Amino acid sequence: MIQDILLLCMVSFFAGFIDAIVGGGGLLQTPAMLIILPQYPVATLFGTTKIPSVTGTAFAAFKYSRKVDINWKLLCPIIVTAFTGALLGAYCITLIRSDVIKPVILALLIGIAIYTYSRKHFGLHQEMSLSFAKQLLIGLAFGFAIGFYDGLIGPGTGTFFMLAFVSLLGKDFLNSSANAKYLNVGTNIAAIIYFAQSGHILYEFAIPMAVFNLCGSFLGIKLALLKGNKFIRIFFLIVVSATILRFAWDIFFKQMFI
């Protein structure tokens, strides 16, 4: 058990590092849990990962808010809809087959990667000038949709939130990353509430993982604030590419090795 905890703590450190910059730490943390602790139900492993995830993400959100201007009047309502969507997604996980949704997400991710790569200045500065009402309406829509995805499937949620702020609201990568952290905290808390009340959290693993996730988050946030938008854009492309590979594996190749 000690060896398993140490391995998961190492993975959690790197997951926290990635999450602090562009999100997507679940691409490491979730598969590691499934591989290292196969004796537990999937719902229990998913629930356990939410504790370290919310710890590192909350720390990153706090650190970003001290360096980046946050529009709380806009962000707070979006957090509420993301929280609600995550609760509904967690409930619907037993009703909707995730393998039906994954091909749609894969196609979307490929389009995102091509678009971001081809537009060299995408996300490097503020591009849109939308009215507050339009920003709020768009934000409420993607907050609920991505929150629902987080409760239903999970990996890459922070990256999707960040992309929504960049592409739909015209924010730069640094500002988008800061806003995305708060939304991801909201969806993680919703998932924790759902999984905790149903007994699906292994606290003996979750707590030490949370400590290491926090340390990784500290390093990631320092690097992101130091390097700025260009570095975050490159890191974003790397994480999106990894997410594409993950979904492609689940859709096309996973069954061959099971």
pLDDT in tens, 12-69: 998 888 888 877 777 778 778 877 888 888 778 888 988 998 999 899 888 888 888 8
pLDDT of residue 233: 73
Percent above pLDDT 70 for the chain: 86
Spatial CA neighbour of 81 closest among 132, 134, 140, 158? 140
Exposure string of 29-45, with b = 16+ CB inside 10 Å and e = fewer, is bbebbeebbeebeebbb
pLDDT of residue 123: 46
State mean pLDDT over 217-229.
Answer: 84
Question: Angle, to 10 degrees, between the axis of helix 42-65 and the axis of helix 26-36?
Answer: 150
The confidence band for 75, taking pLDDT boundaries of 50, 70 and 90, is very high
Q: How many domains does the chain have?
A: 1
The confidence band for 205, taking pLDDT boundaries of 50, 70 and 90, is very high
Whether residue 8 contacts residue 32, with contact meaning beta carbons closer than 8 Å, is answered with: yes
pLDDT of residue 97: 59
Residue 199 structural domain: 2-257
pLDDT of residue 114: 76
In sequence order, the 6+-apart residues with CB closer than 8 A to the CB of 216 are 12, 13, 14, 15, 16, 17, 18, 19, 20, 56
State mean pLDDT over 96-124.
Answer: 65
Q: State the average pLDDT for the chain.
A: 82
Expressed in percent and rounded to 5, the helix, strand and coil fractions of the chain are 80, 0, 20
Give Dmax (Cα) for the chain: 54
Residue 146 Cα distances to 30, 35, 126, 142, 189, angstroms = 18, 26, 22, 6, 14
Q: Which amino acid is at 148?
A: F
Centre a 10 Å sphere on the Cβ of residue 171 and count the other Cβ atoms it contains.
Answer: 25
DSSP 95: T
Q: How far apart are CA 11 and CA 65, in angstroms?
A: 26
pLDDT of residue 222: 87
Q: How far apart are CA 216 and CA 8, in angstroms?
A: 13
Q: How confident is the model over 177-198, as pLDDT tens digits?
A: 889 989 989 988 988 888 888 7
